[in-house]
Structure 1
Amino acid sequence: MRKKKQPIQSRAINFDVMGARAVSEKSYWGDDIWYLKSASSFAREPRLNWKFSLPGGENSLLEKHQVLLASFRETVLGMISEDSGYGKVLSPHSTLGMMAGARDLFRWMVKCGYKSFADLDGQALEIFESDLPKILADRFKFFGIVPGVYDRPRRPVNAPLSSSGEEEVDFVDISSEIFELDEDSETSYDLDEEGAERSEDYFSYEQVSLRISFIFYAYWQSDRFDRFNLPTMPAFPYGGEPCGAIVSRIGTAYCKIIPPFPDEVALPLLTSALNWVNERSKDVLDLVDIYFDALEKDLNPSVELRKFKFSTLEGELGPWRAPIDFEVSEYINHDGWFNSSPLQTFRNVVLNLSGACLIIILFFVGMRVSEVCSLKGGLPSKKKNVAICLEDAFTKDSLTRLFFVNGVTSKGRQFPAKEKWLVGSSPVDSDVMPPAVKALCVLEKLFSKWREVSSLNDLVLNFSRPRGMPRDHSNITPSKTDTILRQIRQFIYTQVDLSALPDESIHGESLVIYRESRGLCIKGHHGRKTFSAYILETRSSLLRAVSQHFKHMNVSITESAYFPAVHRLRQESESQRTADSVAFFVDVVRGEKLAGRMAERIETFFKSDDLKKLSDKDLLEAVEEIVTTNELQVFFNDAGNCFIRANPKGSRCRMAGGGASWKGVKPDYMARSASMCAGCECFAAHRAHLPYWTQREERLEEQARSPGYNPREFRVDERDRKQAKAMVILLSKKNDASRKRKELNEL
């Protein structure tokens, strides 16, 4: 163990000397991007980008962070140099993982106000350990940042080529940035990868290790820091405790880090995926046939593909996309739009269809990504036009046909085991396929020709070269979890428009990260969580069935990881709001006097003779049906009730907050006020709100009687005083609805 050293801060830091050093044949220490030399001639060169977003809208290259950034650069360089104090020289490719941990540590230090590694004493490291689970759960929310690569505006796929005549991009360089997805290198350590995760919803060992190990790396480079007068760590991290022990302690912290999708995100995502599978797949499959026919006849595939005309979908005026040609395409793993050749455009269309099918399987079946990777392709016979991984059966009454998919699962098992999942059902005499069955059949047909070429039998294949289309087995490999996730994210990024999402869902869930990242925050496990949430929130008695479907060892695992208390509480909250809304409308039927611009509409709707004739019990049931059918839940407040769902376009608080729309069915709590609500088209108050307006009137009357009060000078207060007085008069009229409500509550 190294001796405790005091940080050197009095001497000037030699930035010029450090910056002039070469870190590779292509890069210097002070460059914004390091291109490192790969140890293998067959591997792509690692690319390290030192410019990344920080809390407060800053970036890492600002001068105020110069010392901290220099320490991080020196740590990375030291770990791959022969004079590394670590005792082991890491390969250049390992720096990709190091950068994932470095970015989060750098941001955390900036957020906490730590200027250098000298500030990381025992107390600071304890804080980092406690904050790390929150960072891993949602780094964007914790740091308040959105990666810069996500901020580019959307551009039509068929936008005209640049007049500058830009050459086609070298996709080898682009694909080397795959570790930069989500500004993290964890695409290969995704929660769904076999062996990467200790338990269903624990943080993976690798996720935590990438963050904690960098602190130890920085300590072992103290001699390099001294050489350039950089501040060093005051002592061995964590009091000498081994890195592995700390990682295990955090990695096994039970934390449900992936929530189910809000409806506002799931609907556009699944709608787009279903459109591709049901409507567009035939054209794409025809394109694949044209491509291989051209190869077989020794024709130019690009020329033949450009002749194809896409079909016009029902309800559309023209083809759903322009013919295959040179066009500008967007890629998630590079910051820009690029000119694509016809073959590259064809490749994009094929992989988009594959991504749509994978989304349908993950969200409609709830399989893990690793389990999808295990599915096999090929037709069992020429007569049976379904994938070999599919089989069917019939219910005991022979009225329903059940579809199962055969795969392999290794989660929680010592050895991989064959399993089958129910993927859909349909009436025996129906020709309509369930969505997941259709997606599996499309994948079977989509990659069938490439299976013949490569002699592989995997359902989903990967084109190993990032450019063009493979013609022989050398460029075709089985898909892994990272390649499947890449296809899914590429589809979401380019084919699903989330730009119109509001800040919050109808249930109060934040939608900002989905909108700002354009869906790149979505993980494969989101499908599994969304599938279970839909089933269990619809019918919680199916918990055991979901547990068996997910191949869990017991129901408690399913309940804790897939049906947590927060979702049960959300149901209870919605039920309570509905019950309160029903009670309010019953009061209206019984003669409760309302005030406000929505009052007349409510009274007209609910004061029908048919409702008045009902008994108390029947009235309660009738009003409850009206409320639930028309989603007339009321937002209650001391000043009055908000009926924004009945008239979203008339909401004054939504207008003040940036614009009212039919999607805005929840009040803008930051913008609204009592005086604003009282004049809103969505507002209505009754006797229960009288105390609020009485107190408001008394306070404003007292202010009006104070010396020096001038109504012309205090025009806003004078308006509020008259408004409060009018509300008190309207709400003071007597009625007997309160007695009726008491009787109903006793039922």
Structure 2
Amino acid sequence: MTAFATLSSNSRLHLRHDADLRDAPVSPSSKWGDARWFFDNPVPGAPSSASMLSWDLILPDGRNLLDEHHNSLLDWLRRLAWSLFASPGNNAQPLSPGSASTTSTGLRYLASWLVQNSYDKPDQLDPAALASYRDDLAYSLAEDSDGDDLSQAQANLRLRPIIALWQQRGELSAAGIAPMPQIPWGGRGAIEMAREVTARADGYTMPLPDEIAIPVLNRAADFLGQPTDDVLRLQAQCDAINDREPTDHHTGPGTSDVYKKELRGEALKAFIFSRNPQTGKPWHDRLKIVTNERGELIYPAQRFRQLLLAVRDAAAITIQAGTGMRISEICGLPAGIDDHSGLPCCVRVLPSFTGLNEIFLIRTVISKMEDTPREVDWLAGMRPKGASDLPLPVRAIIILDQLLERYRQMLRSDRLLVQFTNLRGLPVRSSSVAQIRSMSLLKGMRDFVEEWVDFTSLPDQSEHPAEDNDLVPYKNTNGRCIRSHQFRKFYANFALSVDPRLLPAVQMHFHHISQAMTEGHYWGTNLLQIEPLSTTQRQHTALLLYELATGKTLVSGRMGDQLQASIEELRTKIGVRGGGEGWRNAISLVFEYDIRLWFVPHGKCLPLVPQAMRCHQLAGTSSWLNKEPNYETREPGVCAGCPSFVIDSKHRIFWEDRFLANMTAFRAAVRAGNGDTFRVIGDRAAQARALLVAIGADIGALEARVDMEAVDGRE
């Protein structure tokens, strides 16, 4: 009897009484009561595991799903599964034997979640329970995923059983199992829900604290300067040895592998690295045989390999942090420099909307999760028209093109990046080079952070923690716990709010990115670059609400005053528990109400009532649809009086500088008898003072600085 024959003859098996089921066949090789159901898969060559449903599962309570304690739960899960294959409801197609494994994945997740949350019957799954299921699924994806994306496919598999419970409600009711009380998630399908879950999962992924992100990005950008120049110079010397012409020396032509290795070793040991202008010493010691922490001997050739890979990985961090590219797109970047422009072949330069600037776009081909490959553009930077400087990500691509050219030629590859498969030294033959894989590049990026970024002096907790002791994992692992999603979100974080602690070149890059974003329309249809911005925007919003609810920040501005007045309501919705629960509640609140902050150096915009936004009122563009600020009319004086305006401690430096500049100028005007003429400057100083008082700034110290400026001015 075939699997299909078994399904056909036992199509009503799920309606039988318990006593008649245990030994009933579900396939030629499996019975109802077996720990595993194996179906015969008619697809030639298909593995048996693809057509298996496993009920052998350790649950959160420590028991097995097969234990007597969970008989009721196991019974209706089996009836649900069988009905999907033998008697699907709502005119759906029956599942094929080859889909048993993926069906099993979803059912096992559902079983674990039910036990974890003290549910055991479908009729208990009301809208509140299903909202928890959605949020818990998003959180588990965020916790477990370390690849390029939080997979919609993973979410889909775990959402299908809930959809199936509603689809099969008639069959389950006929079997005596009370159905779910109403259609799940308002009738939205598994695919649509999977998109929402993965978006939430991205939000639940803890943002990389500034205390970690800033030194990582600064070090990567700095490494592409002097250290990279030295590595390229030393590589050129080694390449010259590898490519040397035969000589007529009496001992031989001098082109043997052994002799070249000897010459390379001498060149490596003789190389003197450039001096660090800050310390006056070489940034790296002369290459020699050393013993590492594990007691292994590291020869000069091996150390040079490590330095070369460090350049590769610093460049990859710079590209991902500077553009928000997924790591798979970085792995797929093409090699080559255009002879005419001197730019990478994958880079285009277009005039900005105003014509005053030049926009840099990196073109890649997207194939992951796509029906057919398609080209997309990634905003990589901007510069004033006529300037010659290059955005950091573009410069990083040029470095990679030069750095890895020899190894691409060995592999005959037209892709920018490669990985080394030999264990020691640099490759000398094609068998030691391969196309780079995403996880290999991620490992390299973590290797760079571990060696070149020092976290030991950091405290255990960041200035704006989403959970207690949030810096400890990074300190304990030397940064190896950083995820691909977090590297990718660097650009979104700093494009939304440029941090003055970044290196000047890095600050300039993100200022240009932010300007290009507001100047208009350089994303095209590339939602992949927009998504991290949207997610990071939500995370910043959630962090503000979380810190307000837990009393970790003070806010000012007219919207800030409203938030302070609603603090008890916020605490009720978010809670004040540690361990990340309050943060997750804040993220959920932001998703539920679609609350979003907009960022400028002088504050944040939280437009709960879009029609009241002053920037739009001044521009004549007020509408309940316009929830994004009007960038033409937005400036500190306008924002400060707007009902949507919020500032917190992150904006203290801006308002301190504004207070000092305006108060110093106003007092000078008063001393000169021009106080009435310059009253507007005094008003600006008073406005800044009021905002600073509200967020707890040291006004006494600031006024002392103004007094000192006045004394210096009179002298």
TM-score (norm 1): 0.48
TM-score (norm 2): 0.50
- Which protein, 1 or 2, shows the higher relative CO under an 8 Å CA cutoff with sep ≥ 6? 1
